[in-house]
Amino acid sequence: MPKIILKVAICWILIGVAFIAYKVIRSDSPKFKNGILASGKLRNKSIEEFTSPQNNPVHQYLLKSNPESDHATFILASYDNILKNKLLFWGFDLSNYFIPLCKTGIIVRKKQTIKDTAGTIKLQHSQTITLNNFEIDILQNKTSCRGDILVLPGWNFSRKAWCNSTQLCTKALQKGYRLILPEMGKSIYATQYFPESRKEWRKYPTLSWVTDTMIPYLQKKYGVFTGEQNYLVGLSTGARGVILIAIKTGALFKAGAALSGDYDQTKMPNDNLMTAIYGPYKTFSARWHTMDNPTEQIDQLNIPIYFGHGLNDKIVPCAQTKNFYDLLRQKKPDLKFVFSNPNHGHDFKYWGSEVDNILDFIESQ
């Protein structure tokens, strides 16, 4: 009999706590605005630190948004346990009993990592994060971080292709660099998509996502790209991405390396990839000239670049790199540009052969 009474009492306590929590979340009282929750204080944290970017009124006060999830994280605790991601009631951890508190998607996530006092999360040796459903690998040496290298894949290449098919990742990590490898899928690093863009390709990341979402998120959340030694490396359409990102981010990156890229789509009016994004050249020629055209934006490129392009490339004409390189040398005589033009094709055999040259170029800047 006493056990039954105890179980009933515990159930009523849990129901009471759930009801109070539900009411507090929906409350707009001054006490809650001042950072007071039941008997717990928010450790002098500002309200902004617990504000959801979605500005959902239900999530307004005690939420820390998790960009890697479709849900917001509900953090309810008392006293100094506020950052331990536990739901406490008179010293008891009730986290396991409170999953959904209401229909707004507010949940308790015991494994959610909370930012440390420096404002960033300490990275592990190797990890994969998800941002807007796109995966990003972050690889780094255990003992040091000499600089950050954004490694860009070509069209429909896995983000792991650079690591799996060349020695770039192995050698860069040995030298102490941290590598950031985003999954770009069938992206051609276009700023945006258009009504004429292939519908099934619109789900892939854009140039704007890289520069306006991914990079700021990694800077704020993980401290990546916050130093002065930031570099870009890309192949094929990823080489085009190197130039476009360098143009859009100003002085964020110190130097880059671009292999087998295309830098003026107007010289390839029948290119299938460009047509699939920008629409037919004959109909949208102005768009082809003005949107994401490195040659048209060449005056905005202000970092040293190592260029490479195989003479036997049957996918992207070698003239794309040669012409862009020559124009850069003419317009930017004070910047360092290197052009490697070996007897190779459009493949990892060639790209792998350039790894030492790329790292040497980066280290010389």
171 pLDDT tier (thresholds 50, 70, 90): very high
Give the chain's length: 365
Residue 265 per-residue DSSP state: G
Using one digit for the tens of pLDDT, what is the confidence trace for 147-157? 999 999 999 99
Report d(CA 173, CA 238) in Å as an integer: 20
pLDDT computed for residue 91 by the predictor: 44
pLDDT computed for residue 252 by the predictor: 97
SS3 69: coil
SS3 180: strand
Report d(CA 57, CA 46) in Å as an integer: 17
Report d(CA 140, CA 282) in Å as an integer: 46
pLDDT computed for residue 15 by the predictor: 76
pLDDT computed for residue 273 by the predictor: 96
Report d(CA 238, CA 60) in Å as an integer: 40
Q: What is the value of pTM for the model shown?
A: 0.68
Report d(CA 314, CA 295) in Å as an integer: 21
- Residue with the bigger pLDDT between 81 and 175: it is 175
Look up residue 295 and give its two tokens: 């040659």
pLDDT computed for residue 43 by the predictor: 33
Look up residue 260 and give its two tokens: 């087998």
Look up residue 187 and give its two tokens: 């992206």
pLDDT computed for residue 203 by the predictor: 96
Report d(CA 166, CA 26) in Å as an integer: 54
Residue 213 has pLDDT above 50, yes or no: yes
Instruction: Return the beta strands (E) in 265-304 as ranges.
Output: none
Q: Which helix (H) or strand (E) is 134 found in, with range? A: strand 134-139
Q: Which helix (H) or strand (E) is 305 found in, with range? A: strand 305-308
pLDDT computed for residue 184 by the predictor: 98
Measure Cα distances from 28 to 32, 37, 59, 62, 158 in Å.
7, 12, 11, 12, 48
Q: Which range has the worst mean pLDDT, 77-81, 234-238, 300-304?
A: 77-81
Residue 114 per-residue DSSP state: P
Mind spelling out the 3-state secondary structure of the chain? CHHHHHHHHHHHHHHHHHHHHHHHHHCCCHHHHCCEECCEECCCCCHHHHCCCCCCHHHCCCEEECCCCCCEEECCCCHHHCCCCCCEECCEECHHHCCECCCCCEECCCCCCCCCCCCCCCCCCEEEEEECCEEEEEECCCCCCCEEEEEECCCCCCCCHHHHHCCHHHHHHHCCEEEEEECCCCCCCCCCCCCCCCHHHCCCCCHHHHHHHHHHHHHHHHCCCCCCCEEEEEECHHHHHHHHHHHHHCCCCCEEEEECCCCCHHHCCCCHHHHHHHCCCCCCHHHHHHCCCCCCCHHHCCCCEEEECCCCCCCCCCHHHHHHHHHHHHHCCCCCEEEECCCCCCCHHHHHHCHHHHHHHHHCC
- Check if CATH label 3.10.180.10 holds for domain 126-363: no
pLDDT over 70 percentage in the chain: 68
Among residues 337, 341, 339, the alpha carbon closest in space to that of 310 is found at 341
Among residues 332, 325, 326, 274, the alpha carbon closest in space to that of 299 is found at 332
> What's the chain's average pLDDT?
77
Look up residue 343 and give its two tokens: 């007897």
Q: Which residues pair with 134 in a beta bridge?
A: 131
Mean pLDDT of all residues in 340-363? 97
Pairing label, strands 230-235, 147-152: parallel
CB atoms within 10 A of CB 298: 18
pLDDT over 90 percentage in the chain: 64
Q: Which range has the worst mean pLDDT, 20-29, 226-235, 317-326, 354-363?
A: 20-29
Q: Where are the domains of the chain?
A: 2-107, 126-363
Look up residue 327 and give its two tokens: 């124009």
